[in-house]
Structure 1
Amino acid sequence: MLLEHLHKLNTARDARLATVTITPLDTGEARLFLEGEAHDPSVAPSIEAALRTGKSGMVEIDGQAVFVNVYLPPPRIVAIGAVHISQALAVMADIAGFDLSIIDPRSAFATPERFKQTKLLAEWPEDALRHTPLDAYTALIAVSHDPKIDDFPLAKALESGCFYVGALGSRKTHARRVERLTKLGVDDKSIARIRAPIGLDIRASNPAEIAVAILAEIIQTLRTRDVAAGRGPAA
């Protein structure tokens, strides 16, 4: 690997940006691409496929065998609310390969006894998110069911371009949430990105089933997000 590419890869990793290298087998001369950059149309489909699936491998481009190597930031989930849904999700997220953090200022709920090794921040989201920054490889779920706790991180997640933003509550509850977010200055297009009611509609009826529905929707969104060359993840 070229020293220049290694430097770019390390810089991108620190900034939680995805990168792809494409190396023709006959020459071994790799090219490196950052997610969101405009690309040669001939390589764009291979780059998009790699970014979407996270899988490296052999492909053919213009009749030439090349190896596509993808480097994705580890996807993570930030859960607002140390509730029963978060307890169930903590186990499932780890199995699925997601790093999970839980934020809840209610210290009676956010206890190590309830969440074992899960990262807990018993702080208000306004404070916690200063050292837990959100980005395009973060999914944020608001499940505290308390507007004083949920609304700020929802607005922050939309502003930060999180690939998934979901919120617990009925359609009536969400309608009131939309009114509050609008007053906070969040535009209609951004608000429309919120998945509410949260999770895939699998008729979930208890916290564990709701956690399954949420995780499934997060994975679906991650693997189908818009990664078109020159645009990056959908905003």
Structure 2
Amino acid sequence: MPFDPAVAADPAFDAVGEWALSWHRGGVGAVLVTVIDTWGSAPRPVGSQLVVSGKGEIIGSVSGGCVEGAVVTEALELLEAPAFKILEFGVSDDTAFAVGLACGGTIRVLLEPVGAVFPVEILAEVITARAARRPTGVVTDLVHGTHDLVGPSAFPDRFAADRSGIEADGQRFVSVHMPPARLLVIGAVHIAQAFLPMARLAGFNVTLIDPRGAFASDTRFPGEIIGDDWPDAALLAHGLDGRTGVITLTHDAKLDDPALITALRSDAFYIGALGSTRTHAKRVARLQEAGLSSDQIARLHAPVGLDIRAQSPAEIAVSILAQVIQVMRRP
């Protein structure tokens, strides 16, 4: 499977599975490594993954420092003699920094050679599902090393919280694979210039939408994905699911309102609009006239962002991003 390293370098693109499949199919060999349990302090949550190639290359992270080094060594040995293996790393506060843990803690990681242990067809289906924005899960039997592909109905609480982990029986590890979180930003304004790179660094896929060519130019937004359709049409074309957020920044009702009406009738997890309290009161009246219910309008975060007394465009961007993350991570 051809794979573009430049795409994988984007922090918003989780490429572990894609690289694993590419290396396996290319004959290089690959071992998937997954954090299955943590105690104390650990810099990477349960479900975090990396992949090790037969040449010792790695994509992703399960911790840092010497933990990754030890994992690579074990992974290369497993490619020579394929097996299912669980490693545990535990350190004291005094030595934690040297092995990549924030402070004293323990992590357990699962190593699985692709093909020989982790089924290629399941890996391919997870990648396909993510591309189609369908949540999937992989249930691994930690005793027998078998795997099953499942959907949200099998573990509704885990999928709702986007939380991988070991089940109460201690035998089954459920790895949850959600579609990439994305943000659709309406308005190529100065706040967007600060917000877009911040959001990408935080792991979001970001698209800027503005039909005004003078604003939405490559010069003002170098390297960004820009759509020039009218906002409501652009949102419908993208599709608004539970892993998509919408933020309107134009301060122009002709652009913002159609986007908000579309978003508030969708499953978007976050909807925010720039504007003062006075501006929002007028906006609410327009949304009511458009036929939206009180419950639908109540989903709107306006004025957008957390109240941190932000003043500059960059500070406002920080407040918006913080609120987006807060809503996304709220149980």
Structure 2 length normalisation: TM-score? 0.59
CA distance in 2, matches of 1:144, 1:129: 15
CA distance in 1, matches of 2:287, 2:157: 37
Deviations 1:61-94 (A, max 9, x none): 23x2332212111111111111011000112112
1:201 is matched with 307
Mark the structure with the bigger radius of gyration: 2
1:90 aligns with 2:196: yes
1:13 is matched with 130
1:24 aligns with 2:136: no
Q: Give the conservation status (yes or no) of the 8 Å contact 2:167–2:174.
A: no
1:59 is matched with 166
Instruction: Name stretches of at least 5 consecutive residues in structure 1 with no aligned partner.
Output: 226-235
Deviations 1:186-215 (A, max 9, x none): 111111010011011111111110000111
1:78 aligns with 2:78: no
1:116 is matched with 222
Cα distance, 1:159 vs structure 2 = 1.9
CA distance in 2, matches of 1:143, 1:44: 34
2:241 is matched with 135
CA distance in 1, matches of 2:273, 2:209: 14
- 212, 225, 237: which is aligned to 1:106? 212
Cα distance, 1:131 vs structure 2 = 3.3
The percent identity for this pair of structures is 47
Cα distance, 1:8 vs structure 2 = 5.5
Q: Structure 2 vs 1, CA of residues 185 and 3 (structure 1 numbering), >3 Å: closer, same or farther? A: farther
CA distance in 2, matches of 1:122, 1:170: 26
Q: Structure 2 vs 1, CA of residues 139 and 44 (structure 1 numbering), >3 Å: closer, same or farther? A: closer
Q: Structure 2 vs 1, CA of residues 116 and 7 (structure 1 numbering), >3 Å: closer, same or farther? A: closer
Aligned amino acid, residue 118 of structure 1: E
CA distance in 2, matches of 1:47, 1:161: 15
Q: Structure 2 vs 1, CA of residues 179 and 13 (structure 1 numbering), >3 Å: closer, same or farther? A: same
1:212 aligns with 2:318: yes
Classify the secondary structure of the residue corresponding to 1:32. strand
Q: Structure 2 vs 1, CA of residues 12 and 202 (structure 1 numbering), >3 Å: closer, same or farther? A: same
* Greater relative contact order, per chain length (Cα 8 Å cut-off, separation 6+): 1
Deviations 1:113-144 (A, max 9, x none): 11001111233213333432222111100110
CA distance in 2, matches of 1:113, 1:3: 43
Instruction: Name stretches of at least 5 consecutive residues in structure 2 with no aligned partner.
Output: 1-117
2:255 is matched with 149
Cα distance, 1:22 vs structure 2 = 2.1
2:295 is matched with 189
CA distance in 2, matches of 1:221, 1:208: 20
Structure 1 length normalisation: TM-score? 0.81
Aligned amino acid, residue 120 of structure 1: I
Cα distance, 1:223 vs structure 2 = 1.4
CA distance in 1, matches of 2:269, 2:158: 21
Equivalences, count: 214
1:178 is matched with 284
- My pick for the range that moved more, 156-165 or 208-217, is 156-165
Cα distance, 1:172 vs structure 2 = 1.7
Superposition CA RMSD, Å: 2.3
